[in-house]
Each structure stands twice: as C-alpha cells, then as structure tokens.
Chains A and B, each alone.
Chain A
Amino acid sequence: MGSAPSDGAADRPLAAYKILIAGGFGAGKTTLVGAISEVRPLHTEESLSTESAGSDDLRGVDGKTTTTVAMDFGRITLSSRLVLYLFGTPGQERFWFMWDELSYGALGAVVLADTRRLADCFPAVDYFEKRQLPFVIAINRFDDSPHYDPEDVRIALDLDPRVPVVLCDVRRPASAKQVLITLVEHLLVTEGNK
C-alpha cells in the first residue's frame, strides 16, 4: 500500500472507484472504513434545511444556515493506477440528499446491519434497491448482539435471494476486507448475468 507516486506516475492514468458503506448509526461504518483503508477527515458544508430545524437544537445559533458534515472517507491503493475510495453515507435522514451524489457512479455498496437494531438498515436497503445499485448485507457481530442466521436476516430484510448476506467483525481488517471481496464478487456475478 501507500500512495507515494512511482516513477512516471503523473503520466499514467489514475482510475478511481468508489464503494459506499451504509447502515444505521453505530452499525460500524467508521470502524469498517478505518480497518481496511487509509482514513482522512472529509468535510462538506451543507445547507441546513428548514425541516432539520426540528431535529437540530438551533437555540442560540440564529442565522446559521450551513452545517459541516463529516463523512467517513478512506482510500485503498490497489495498484499504481487503481484506487478504491470508501465513503460512509451520513446516517441522519436530513442528509439523505447527499446519498444521490455519493451513489452516482459507485461500483456498489455495503450495508452494515446490527441485529440489535435491524430496522436501522431498512432505509439503506430500500435506497439501493430503488437505485439498482448492487449491495451486500454485512452483519456486524457485536459481543452482545443476538445470534442470527444470515438467512433469517435475509428474510427479515425481504432481500432478493441473490444479494449476499455475510457475517463480519469490522474491527478485524481481514474481515472488513472479506466484506469488500464479497461485494466485488457479487458485482462480477451481476455483471456476468447481463
């Protein structure tokens, strides 16, 4: 790994691809991105819509019209010309509009599921199904989470039988890496079926 340019790197095209990491708050998005990639802080400056006024405590900040959103952002250098970027999708619904930009041109997505709060990943599943962006479900195993069979999760999420459902521990780099491998293998199968 490492992003140091090799000789003549400036002359070579750089191919950049992105994979989205979605899931409910606390499902492990930040941990997964940190386990597998070179992480750096990434901020966007977003307008605070009036709808969000209810969820934000705006007392004492009259006139504030934008807010800084921190995104999980990681870079995986696969070769001198191929770089994979991971973007954690902002969890709160008020940042929903950012998903359109993030998913545009993405290879696919990982939806992290926490079996203690499985419903938290419904919006992400719905979104990627509607956008027809291929995704995998990665069940992040927490020490106190009930033990579910992946197939039970598939039924609970009413998933297409072709969508892979895997167990993972995103704190472990090898496990995080396997989740991404599962996604790309799924993309290859999807691609081959066209």
Chain B
Amino acid sequence: MTRLGERAMNAGDMWAGRDAGPVVRPYALTGGRTEPADGEVLDLIAVIVASRQAAGAGDPAGHSPEHRRILSLCQRPVTVADVAADTTLPVGVVRVLLADLILQGRLTVLPQRPAGEQPSADLLKEVLHGLRAL
C-alpha cells in the first residue's frame, strides 16, 4: 500500500482546504492512473473470470487490497458492472484495476457475442422464456 499511499498523500496536499473532496479520491486507488494499462476499455458487461493457471500462485507484490478483492470476486464469471457494484468503486477505477490483473494473467476476459452483431432468434427466445418464468 506504500506506493498508492504516497500518491494519495501527495494528491491530498493539493486538495487541502475547505473545499477538499473526499479524503481519498477514487483514482488514488489506482495510483492516479485513469486509463487501463493495456489501453483496452472493457465493456460494462464484459465477462471476466480468474485464470485457472493463476490459481494457487502467490500474491504478487504491488497488489492492493482492491486488487485482491477483485480477484476473489472473479473466482466465478462476473461482469465489469458486477465488480464495480460489489466493490462500490467507480467503473473507471475498476477498469484500471482489472486491466492490471488481466496483464498479469490473473484474469481472463471471456468471449461474448460481438457487440456489433445482432442477437440471434434463439438467444432472444431464451431471454423471453426466462423473463416469462420470472
């Protein structure tokens, strides 16, 4: 936490005063980074899961508590939006942290229907069936 902590402290100096925002601004958790390290902006409903081969691997230095929390949430397939909601972190912050873990090979993005592609009738019928059964 030292690296992130120092950054947060430095940033905190600039905000000192009556109108300072929250004690830790959200992007302090990413060390001030606002862009994912791999440049890929994950869709809100991109599905991610912990990589099988990474299971049991040690906890690399540099993982923040937020990285660890995300890894534990991703033990089963979840969406980016789920992770943001479960961690109560802003989506932009979650994307940066997820990109770190993806680059480290700890998380895998599961392939989905290409966003530009129309959904098939079979899929729509499955959705319809599911809705009616609610």
Chain B window 93-125, contacts with chain A (Cβ cutoff 8 Å), 1 for yes, 0 for no: 100000000000000001011011011110111
Q: When chains A and B are docked, how far (Å) is the Cα of A163 from the Cα of B113?
A: 25
Interface size on B, residues (CB 8 A): 47
Q: A5-B76, A78-B130, A181-B131 are in contact. Are A13 and B125 (CB under 8 A)?
A: no
Q: Is the CB of A102 within 8 A of B44?
A: yes
Check A14–B110 contact: CB distance below 8 A. yes
B112 and A16 contact, CB distance less than 8 A: yes
Taking the closest CB of chain B, its distance from the CB of A15, in whole angstroms, is 7
**A16 engages B134 (CB within 8 Å):** no
CB contacts between A and B, total, < 8 Å = 127
B71-93 residues at the A interface, CB under 8 angstroms: 75-79, 81-82, 84-86, 88-93
Nearest CB of B to A116, in Å: 29
Q: Is the CB of B44 within 8 A of A18?
A: yes
- The answer to the question of A61 belonging to the interface, with a C-beta cut-off of 8 Å to chain B, is yes
In the assembled complex, A161 has its CB within 8 A of some CB on chain B: no
Q: Inside 8 A of B82's CB, which chain A residues have their CB? A: 75
- B residues near A, CB below 8 A? 15, 18-19, 21, 26-27, 43-45, 47, 49, 75-79, 81-82, 84-86, 88-93, 110, 112-113, 115-116, 118-121, 123-128, 130-134
Q: Is the CB of B26 within 8 A of A1?
A: no
- A-side residues, CB < 8 A to B, are 1, 5, 9-10, 12-18, 36, 40-45, 60-64, 68, 73, 75-76, 78-79, 82-85, 87, 101-102, 104-105, 107, 177, 180-181, 184-185, 187-188, 191-192, 194
Closest to A40 in B: B85
* CA A101 to CA B46, docked complex, whole Å: 12
Q: Is the CB of B131 within 8 A of A184?
A: yes
For A40, A61, A105, which residue has the most chain B Cβ atoms within 10 angstroms? Answer: A105
Could you say which residues of chain B place their CB within 8 Å of the CB of A17? 45, 119, 123, 127
Knowing A62-B19, A188-B128, say if A42 contacts B45 (CB, 8 Å): no
CB-contact partner of A10 in B76, B81, B113, under 8 A: B76
User: Contacting B81 at CB < 8 Å: which of A60, A85, A177?
Assistant: A85
Contact across chains for B126 and A82 when beta carbons are under 8 A apart: yes
